[in-house]
Structure 1
Amino acid sequence: MKISFNDYISIMIHQTDLTLTSYIKAKLAPLNIAPEQNLILLLLWEKDGLSQNEIAKRLNKDKTNIARMLSNLEKKELISRHINETDGRSFNVYLTEKGIKLGEQVYPITEEFNRTVCSGITSEELQVVNEVLLKMQQNVEMSVK
């Protein structure tokens, strides 16, 4: 028996991702920040000075995309890159004063976004969602090896 379009879990996840991304994109637009740029900034607000490689790994993105996004954030004067003192081939990324200040505007948006997305969902349900999504990621990773 063939599975119909709407029965594929990947379709539901993709449609949910599009909905969530569209929502946060609209919320961040007045601040001239793209959702993926926001992810980098969230990492740096949590721990400033991460290497480009650490950022790429944490966001599961290739280094070329990260370098491009960092370049855009640098042009907006939100971050600066400095050569790593122990590995001259690597860069560490630091928030500028403007980048730090932007966090004061962005954090309330991301907190509200998270509350909206998780509204009506119990902490137990969220834990199950996290566990299931992690299993899906691991299933794909295992099938690629």
Structure 2
Amino acid sequence: MKTIYSIENLHTILSGRTHSAFNRALLSNFRKNNILLTREQWTVLGVLWKNDGCTQQTLANQTSTDKPGITRLIDNLEKENLVERHPDTNDKRLKLIYLTPKGKSIEEEVLNVVNQTLKEAVKDIESERLQIVKETFQQIYDNLETKK
């Protein structure tokens, strides 16, 4: 079977090279602005900024993180006084994750840096081309997710 990509090109596309470069740029921009978060931590905070008080499972699903990983992330965010766990009043087995005042207070600053990094990443790219990229990546994702 003939492939449309060479093994080298296919690896580059599917390995997440762009994702890694974005993460490095974001981390660098965080450090320049004295924000001591990882990409994984800010994605958890991003979910909570939209939906404060959700379960660990919801956070895991929305950030595509496994259960042990989300537990570690929450533990670290809790140590930094950015989130806290509270028992669910309807189901004592569940813990709901809430932002602390400190976690709420950094939202604007963090999102400004994230947005600036996104602007840097897509500068000089026409919106039509970005739409094609978005649709293409969505199709790749959908193709892979339907195989589960």
TM over 0.5: yes
Unaligned runs of 5+ residues in structure 1 are none
**TM-score under structure 2 length normalisation:** 0.86
The alignment's C-alpha RMSD in Å is: 1.8
Candidates 17, 20, 27, aligned match of 2:19: 17
AA of the residue aligned to 1:32: L
Provide the C-alpha distance between the structure 2 equivalents of 1:86 and 1:106, rounded to a whole number of angstroms: 33
How many percent of aligned residue pairs carry the same amino acid? Answer: 29
Provide the C-alpha distance between the structure 1 equivalents of 2:52 and 2:146, rounded to a whole number of angstroms: 32
Aligned length: 143
Q: CA deviation at 1:5?
A: 4.0
CA contact (8 A) 1:82 1:93 kept: yes
AA of the residue aligned to 2:134: N
Q: Give SS of 2:124's match.
A: coil
Q: Give SS of 1:68's match.
A: helix
Provide the C-alpha distance between the structure 1 equivalents of 2:74 and 2:140, rounded to a whole number of angstroms: 29
2:78 corresponds to: 74
The 5-angstrom pairing of residues 1-145 of structure 1 reads: 3-8=5-10, 10-13=11-14, 14-29=16-31, 30-143=34-147, 145=148
* Higher RCO (CA 8 Å, separation ≥ 6 residues): 2
Provide the C-alpha distance between the structure 2 equivalents of 1:120 and 1:93, rounded to a whole number of angstroms: 39
Q: Summarize deviations over 1:53-105 as a string: whole Å, max 9, x none.
A: 11111111111100100000000000111111222221111111111111132
